[in-house]
């Protein structure tokens, strides 16, 4: 039997999950792998806080350095979060020759390159399965399962809060603000929800999947990110009428030697698997050149699912240690292309959903289609409703054929300056899966 001592830094929700899962499943892990995991020490700034699991007080310290200095601990689990203290902890652990397991997507998105380089130098591993998709084994799937594939595209629902809000807006026809407030009360959204609803969290995760799929760490600031604050029930309802749902997707597509990448709301056809991913669930739809289309689905967050992923990393590293290999599974950054690898959003080509708020009188449609036509944008379908005799404002909804985003933005600029157009025009990209 191979005993592996681990230390846990950060005994919050996921940390308590790790302790709980170990309590439940230590024996079956040992039966399956021959590895016995011993939780040796826990560092947390508040040992006395009420927690959902019983933890012997003697395990606690308030000083993370105690764990790093404990030579019997070979794997440190970092669940502090954020990009400051957590970074110091991980670099400190690596420096002491310890392996690291982390769920910290923000940290990896910003400093992954540096952290992996440090780990490689020291010959230790960093496990980060829990950083994307909670309990879904997506890191392992891309890194190992699809290793013989060129990745063609990734479409991920990777933020449970946003998906929960959009799902409820769709089911209940309510405004964004109302659903957000409700989600906050129910604990599905943070008091400061920006990371989730503005797409930043999903972009962190996307940058990790891009690293694994394309061998490059993109400058995080260059990834296009657009959240769901501007999504309205009226657009959800028009999308529904057209056969679509609105989902916040994290997208990366291989195109002409580069990639298109971004996080933004999209229309996806109702019959697609990803359109059915509701509530707090996550799913990552990946197309590889040999495996074809695949999707992995599950709970993208939460105490127990995330702990499941953390412990799968612990076991994997413990196995590697057994054979004297603690770092060959570090991802390789083999792609030497510079940031030109990322195709600017202005250059992408896709279909668009457009909504214009216009004066309700003859000739308006002609003016709009004129602006679109002048910019090489052709229209696939139009919905025009609520026409009354006389004045008033009515929505006009269009779906375009494939168009270049630069052209679309030019046409919208022209359209928004028309006298008959009463407010800023709405565009939402359409993804065909």
**Least distance to its own copies, CB of residue 411, Å:** 36
> Which residue's CB is nearer to its own copies, number 314 or number 403?
314
**Least distance to its own copies, CB of residue 192, Å:** 27
Name the one range near its own copies by CB under 8 A: 223-231, 250-258, 261-269, 329-337: 329-337
> Which residue's CB is nearer to its own copies, number 177 or number 271?
271
195/375 Cα distance (integer angstroms): 35
Q: Which of 186, 221, 257, 323 binds its own copies (CB under 8 A)?
A: 323
79/98 Cα distance (integer angstroms): 16
Q: Which of 170, 207, 312, 375 binds its own copies (CB under 8 A)?
A: 312
Is residue 221 part of the annotated active site? The answer reads: no
What phi and psi, each to the nearest 5 degrees, are found at residue 340? -65, -10
Q: Which of 4, 68, 299, 398 binds its own copies (CB under 8 A)?
A: 299
Name the one range near its own copies by CB under 8 A: 22-30, 87-95, 202-210, 249-257: 22-30
Q: 376: phi > 0 → left, psi -120 to 50 → alpha, else beta; which?
A: left
> Which residue's CB is nearer to its own copies, number 28 or number 389?
28
130/77 Cα distance (integer angstroms): 11
Tell me which residue has tokens 């830094």: 9
Q: Which of 123, 145, 258, 370 binds its own copies (CB under 8 A)?
A: 145
112/115 Cα distance (integer angstroms): 5
> Which residue's CB is nearer to its own copies, number 322 or number 416?
322
Q: In terms of Cα–Cα distance, which of 279, 44, 3, 43 is closest to 165?
A: 279
- Residue 230 interacting with its own copies (CB under 8 A): no
Q: Where are the alpha helices (DSSP H) in 4-152?
A: 13-33, 64-69, 85-95, 105-122, 138-140
Q: 409: phi > 0 → left, psi -120 to 50 → alpha, else beta; which?
A: alpha
> Which residue's CB is nearer to its own copies, number 134 or number 199?
134
> Which residue's CB is nearer to its own copies, number 290 or number 417?
290
382 neighbors 242 (Cβ within 8 angstroms): no
User: Which tokens belong to 193?
Assistant: 């929800």
**Least distance to its own copies, CB of residue 21, Å:** 5
Q: Which of 334, 339, 387, 388 binds its own copies (CB under 8 A)?
A: 334
354 neighbors 397 (Cβ within 8 angstroms): yes
Q: Which of 124, 165, 263, 307 binds its own copies (CB under 8 A)?
A: 307
351/403 Cα distance (integer angstroms): 6
Q: Which of 10, 15, 135, 193 binds its own copies (CB under 8 A)?
A: 135
- Residue 172 interacting with its own copies (CB under 8 A): no
Neighbours of 50 (CB within 10 A): 5
Q: How many Cα atoms are found within 13 Å in the side-chain-facing hemisphere of 417?
A: 6
26 neighbors 34 (Cβ within 8 angstroms): no
What is the dihedral sign for C-alpha 394, 395, 400, 403? positive
- Residue 8 interacting with its own copies (CB under 8 A): no
- Residue 141 interacting with its own copies (CB under 8 A): yes
Q: In terms of Cα–Cα distance, which of 47, 48, 92 is closest to 66?
A: 92
Site residues for its own copies, 112-131, by CB under 8 A, read: 129
Dihedral of the alpha carbons of 5, 11, 17, 21, in degrees to the nearest 10: 20
Number of residues engaging its own copies in binding (CB under 8 A):
64
Q: Which of 7, 112, 199, 305 binds its own copies (CB under 8 A)?
A: 305
Given 205, 245, 247, 253, the catalytic residue: 205
Pairing relationship of beta strands 403-404 and 349-359 according to DSSP bridges: antiparallel
> Which residue's CB is nearer to its own copies, number 76 or number 311?
311
- Residue 24 interacting with its own copies (CB under 8 A): yes
Site residues for its own copies, 268-297, by CB under 8 A, read: 271, 273, 276-277, 288-297
Give the residue numbers annotated as catalytic, written as ranges. Answer: 205
Residues in contact with its own copies by the rule CB under 8 A: 17, 20-22, 24-25, 28-29, 31-34, 129, 135-137, 140-141, 143-150, 215, 271, 273, 276-277, 288-299, 302, 304-305, 307-309, 311-312, 315-316, 319-320, 322-325, 328-329, 331-332, 334
């Amino acid at each position: 039997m191979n005993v592996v001592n681990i230390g846990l830094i950060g005994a919050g929700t996921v940390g308590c999950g790790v302790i709980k899962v170990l309590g439940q499943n230590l024996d079956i892990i040992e039966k399956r792998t021959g590895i016995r995991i011993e939780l040796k020490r826990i560092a947390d700034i508040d040992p006395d806080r009420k927690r959902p699991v019983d933890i012997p007080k003697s395990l606690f310290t308030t000083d993370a350095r105690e764990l790093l200095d404990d030579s019997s601990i070979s794997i440190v689990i970092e669940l502090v979060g954020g990009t400051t203290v957590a970074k110091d902890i991980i670099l400190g652990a690596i420096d002491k020759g310890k392996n690291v397991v982390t769920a910290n997507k923000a940290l990896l998105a910003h400093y992954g390159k540096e952290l992996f380089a440090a780990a490689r130098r020291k010959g230790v591993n960093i496990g980060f399965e829990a950083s994307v998709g909670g309990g879904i084994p997506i890191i392992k799937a891309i890194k190992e399962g699809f290793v013989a594939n060129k990745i063609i595209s990734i479409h991920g629902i990777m933020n449970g809060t946003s998906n929960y809000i959009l799902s409820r807006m769709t089911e209940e026809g309510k405004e964004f603000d109302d659903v957000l407030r409700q989600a906050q009360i129910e604990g599905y959204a943070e008091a400061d929800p920006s990371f989730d609803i503005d797409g930043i969290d999903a972009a962190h995760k996307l940058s990790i999947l891009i690293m694994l799929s394309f061998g490059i760490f993109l400058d995080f600031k260059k990834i296009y990110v657009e959240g769901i604050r501007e999504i309205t029930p009226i657009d959800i309802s028009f999308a529904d009428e057209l056969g679509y749902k609105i989902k916040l997707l994290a997208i990366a597509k291989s195109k002409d030697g580069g990639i298109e990448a971004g996080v933004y709301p999209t229309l996806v056809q109702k019959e697609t698997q990803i359109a059915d991913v509701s509530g707090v669930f996550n799913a990552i739809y990946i197309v590889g050149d040999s495996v074809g289309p695949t999707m992995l689905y599950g709970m993208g967050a939460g105490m127990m699912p995330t702990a499941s992923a953390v412990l799968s990393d612990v076991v994997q590293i413990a196995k590697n240690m057994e054979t004297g290999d603690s770092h060959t599974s570090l991802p390789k950054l083999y792609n030497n292309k510079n940031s030109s690898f990322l195709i600017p959003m202005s250059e992408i080509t896709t279909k668009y959903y457009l909504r214009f708020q216009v004066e309700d009188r003859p000739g308006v449609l002609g003016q709009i289609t004129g602006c679109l036509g002048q910019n090489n944008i052709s229209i696939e379908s139009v919905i025009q409703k609520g026409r009354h005799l006389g004045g008033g404002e009515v929505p006009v909804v269009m779906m375009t054929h494939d168009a270049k985003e630069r052209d679309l933005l030019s046409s919208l600029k022209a359209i928004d300056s028309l006298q008959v157009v009463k407010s800023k025009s709405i565009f939402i990209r359409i993804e065909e899966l």
